[in-house]
Amino acid sequence: MTEGSLQWGGRFRSAPDPALLAFGSSFEDDLLLARFDLETSRAHVRALTGGEVIAQDTGAKLERALDRVAAEIDDGSFAIWARKGSFEDIHGAIDARVRELDEEAGGWLHAGRSRNDQVATTLSLYAAARARDGLARVTTIAAALVTRARSALAEGSVLAGTTHGQPAQSILLAFWLQAAAEPFVRGARRFASVEKDAMEAMPLGSGALAGSCLPLDRLAAARYLGFARPSRNALDAVGTRDALFSCADAWATACVPAARIAAEIVLWSSPLVGYVRIGDASASGSSLMPQKRNPDIFELVRAGTQRVLADAKTAWSASAAVGLSYHRDLQECKQSAISAIERADGILAAFGRAFADLEFDVAQMERRTTLGYTPATDLADALILKGVDARRAHRLVGARVALAEEQGRPFETSDLRALGAQIGAETLEAPLDARSGVRAKATIGSTSPESVADALDELEKELSVLAGAV
C-alpha cells in the first residue's frame, strides 16, 4: 500500500496496517461498478467547470484522462494495473490512475467531492442500469411463456390443476403457462419503477454529509447523468441505499416465480409423473446410475433463489442498524445487495434457457386429468345452478365421491342421475371430462379457452409496452 493508493492521509503519523487495509478493501467487489464510477467522475468534472471551480482546459485534461481510464476498463488493463496498487476501492483506484496520467489536472478531480456522495451516486447508476437489465430479462421470459401458452391453447391441452399438491380441477395447459407468465410481467413493472426511482435524486455534490463550499454546478452534473434533479438533503443522500436495495428486492422477487415453477418441473419430470421431459441441453446424469436424467438446473434455480432472498434481506437489515449519514457498515450492505442482483441475473438466465428446453407430454397430462375426481366442483356448481345451496351441494357431491371411491370407478352419468333425483330434478347436466370442464367456466380470469385467450391478448399488449421501456 503506497501513499498514492489512499485518498486520505496527512493527519496520521504512521502507515496503516496492510492486513487491516486489506480487510477493509472492497476493490474486487467494486470492479463491476467501474464504468458507473467513471461516469460519476465525468459528471463531477462538469460540476467543477460549470461552477468555475476549475478552468475549462483543466476540465478537458480530466476528460482525456477519464477517456483513457474508460478504455483501460474495457480492455481489462485497468484491473491489472489497480491490483498492483492495493487500493481500498474502485473510487480511489480511478482517482489515482487519473492523477498518474495527468498529475496536475488529476489533483483537482476530487475537489468538493467525498467518497460518500461519489459511492451513493455510483450505486444509483448501477441500480438503474441493472433494473433496466432486469426489465429486459423478465419480459423475455414472460414473452416466451406467452408464446408457449398460445401454442398450448391452440392444441387444447389439459391437465389436472392441483392445490396442496393434490388433484383439484382440470385446467388448460395454456392457463398454467399464463399463470407462470403473470408474475414476470409484474416483475417488469417493478423493475421499471425501480429504475425511475433510482434516477430521481442525484447524491453527487452532497460532499461528505453537509454539501460543499465550492459552487459546484449540480444541475449540470444531474443533466449529464440523467437524474431528474439533485438531491435535496446531503445528510440523507450520502447514507441512503434505497435504490440499490430496491433493485436487489426486485431481482429477488423475480426469482420467486422461477423457483416455484422449477419446483413443479422437478416433480413433473419424474417418470412417476411424466408431464415433462428435460432436454439433453439442460439435463444432467448420474456418475453411478446410467438411467438418470436429472433436472439439476431447476433444482439450482429453486435453491439459488433462497440465497438471493437472504442476500437482499441482509442488505436492508444491516443498514437498519446504523444512523443517518455514511457508515462503513454500508459497504457490507452494498456487497450483499450486489450479490443478490448478480446471482439473480444468473438464475433467471439459466431458468429461461432450461425452460425453453422442456417438452410437455400432453397425452400423459390428459390421461390423468380426472384422477382424484377433479370434476367434483363442477358437479357442485351444477347443483347450485339448480337452486341447491352451496353447503348442501358440497355434501351431496362429497357423498358421490365417497361412493365412487368405494366402487373403484370414476364419475359416471349414473352419478348425475342420482344427484338429480336427490334434488327432484329430471336431469342434471354437468361436465364429467376435462375439456368440458374447462369450457364450462364462466368467469373472467378462469381457465376457459375464451378467458385464457383474452388474458394472453392483454399480456401481449402489456409486454409490448414494457419492452419499449427497455
| Assigned domain for 447 exists | no
The per-residue pLDDT for range 25-62, each reduced to its tens digit, is 777 888 999 999 999 999 999 999 999 999 999 999 99
Report the percent of the chain where pLDDT is more than 90.
Answer: 88
- Does residue 100 share a domain with residue 148? no
What is the number of domains present in the chain?
A: 3
Answer yes or no: do 363 and 380 share one domain: no
144 lies in the same domain as 79: no
Assess whether 382 and 424 both reside in one domain: yes
- pLDDT for 2: 47
Question: Is residue 339, in this structure, part of any structural domain at all?
Answer: yes
pLDDT for the residue 35: 96
DSSP 378-403: HHHHHHHHTT--HHHHHHHHHHHHHH
C-alpha grid cell for residue 418? 342420482
- Return the percentage of the chain with pLDDT > 70, whole number: 95
Residues 180 and 280 both lie in one domain: yes
Helix (H, G, I), strand (E, B) or coil at 208: coil
Kindly state whether residues 110 and 27 are assigned to the same domain: yes
Chain mean position to CA 342 = 10
Task: Characterize the bridge pairing of strands 229-230 and 358-360.
Answer: unpaired
Question: 180 and 278 share a domain?
Answer: yes
Whether the predicted pLDDT of 4 surpasses 90: no
66 in the same domain as 103: yes
**Inside any domain, residue 311:** yes
Element (H, E) at 169: strand 166-172
The answer to whether residues 141 and 258 belong to one domain is: yes
> Do 93 and 175 reside in the same domain of the chain?
no
Tell me the C-alpha distance between 419 and 83, whole Å.
80
| Residue 61 belongs to domain spanning | 16-115
> Is the residue at 56 inside a domain?
yes
**pLDDT of 184 above 60:** yes
Of 367, 394, 419, the last residue of a domain is 367
Cell of 41: 467522475
Question: Which residues have CB under 8 Å from 123's CB, separation 6+?
Answer: 33, 36, 241, 243, 244, 334
Residue with cell 416433480: 267
CATH number at residue 108: 1.10.275.10
Mean pLDDT, to the nearest integer, of 259-281? 96
The average pLDDT across 172-198 equals 98
Q: Say yes or no to pLDDT of 1 above 50.
A: no
Helices marked H in 240-328: 242-268, 296-319
Residue 287 pLDDT more than 70? yes
Average pLDDT value for the chain: 94
Residues 262 and 356 in one domain: yes
pLDDT at 14 over 70: no
Tell me which of 331, 349, 367 is where a domain ends.
367
Q: What is the rounded distance in angstroms from the CA atom of residue 140 to the CA atom of residue 245? A: 23
pLDDT tens across 368-404, in order?
A: 999 999 999 999 999 999 999 999 999 999 999 999 9
Report the SS3 class of residue 230.
strand
Q: Is residue 77 part of a domain?
A: yes
Choose the weakest-confidence range: 139-153, 317-331, 397-411: 317-331
pLDDT band for 5, please (50, 70, 90 cuts).
low
pLDDT of residue 350: 98
Q: Please, what's the largest Cα pairwise distance for the chain? A: 101
Q: What is the pLDDT of residues 426-436, one digit of tens each?
A: 889 999 999 99
DSSP 311-379: HHHHHHHHHTTS-SS--THHHHHHHHHHHHHHHHHHHHHHHHHHHHTEEE-HHHHHHTTTTT-TTHHHH
Mean pLDDT across 292-296 = 94
User: What cell does 329 get?
Assistant: 457498515
Q: How many residues does the chain have?
A: 470
- Tell me which H or E stretch contains 2: none
> What is the model's pLDDT at position 3?
46
Candidates 182, 189, 187, 219; CA nearest to 204 is: 219
Considering the domain architecture, whether residues 292 and 360 belong to the same structural domain is answered as yes
Q: Are 1 and 86 in contact (CB under 8 A)?
A: yes
The single-letter code of the amino acid at 428 is: L
Asked if residue 219 is part of any domain, the answer here is: no
Q: 135, 141 in Cβ contact below 8 A? A: no
- CATH number for 359: 1.20.200.10
Per-residue pLDDT at 67 exceeds 90: yes
Q: What's the pLDDT at 213? A: 98
Query: What pLDDT does 10 receive?
Result: 58
Task: Please report whether residue 41 resides in a domain.
Answer: yes
pLDDT at 364: 97
